[in-house]
Amino acid sequence: ETAVNVPLELIGLSQSEHTVYVIGKNPDLVIGSDTSRVWQDANDAASITWTVDTSYSLLVINEVLAHSHGEANDLIELYYDGPAPLDLSGMSISDDLCNPTKYVFPGGTTVNPGEYMVLYANYDPGHLGFALSQFGEGVYLYDTVANGGGLIDSIEFGMQLRDFTIGRLGRQRQWKLTQPTIGTENVAQPLGNPATLKINEWFTSGEVLLEDDFIEIYNPHSQTVDMGGMFLTDDPVARPDRHQIKPLSFIAGEG
Domain ranges of the chain: 1-54, 58-188, 194-251
Predicted pLDDT at 11: 80
> 129-157: per-residue pLDDT in tens?
999 999 999 999 999 999 999 999 999 99
Taking 80 as the threshold, does the pLDDT of residue 60 lie above it? yes
Among candidate residues 107, 130, 122, the one with its CA nearest the CA of residue 70: 122
Distance, in Å, from the CA atom of 239 to the CA atom of 136, rounded to the nearest integer, reads: 25
- How much of the chain exceeds pLDDT 70, in percent? 92
Q: For residue 25, is pLDDT > 80?
A: no
**Alpha-carbon span 251 to 247, nearest angstrom:** 12
The SS3 of residue 182 is coil
What is the mean pLDDT of the segment spanning 29-52? Answer: 73
What's the pLDDT tens digit per position in 86-114? 999 999 999 999 999 999 999 999 999 99
Query: Which residues fall within 8 angstroms of residue 38, CB to CB, at 6 or more apart?
Result: 25, 26, 27, 29, 30
**Tens digits of per-residue pLDDT, 161-184?**
999 999 999 989 999 999 999 999
pLDDT score, position 168: 98
Report the pLDDT value the prediction gives residue 28, as an integer from 0 to 100.
67
Cα(198)–Cα(57) distance, integer angstroms: 45
Q: In terms of CATH architecture, what is 58-188? A: Sandwich (2.60)
Residue 72 scores a pLDDT above 80:
no
**Higher confidence at residue 207 or residue 199?**
199
Q: Are 158 and 248 in contact (CB under 8 A)?
A: yes
- Residue 32: per-residue pLDDT: 60
User: Hey, CA dihedral for 212, 215, 219, 224, is it positive or negative?
Assistant: negative
Give the predicted TM-score (pTM) of the model. Answer: 0.80
For residue 34, what pLDDT band results from cuts at 50, 70 and 90? low
Mean pLDDT computed over 118-138: 95
Distance, CA of 121 to CA of 74 (rounded, Å): 5
- Contact indicator for 201, 216 with CB cutoff of 8 Å: yes
**Predicted local confidence at residue 214, as pLDDT:** 84
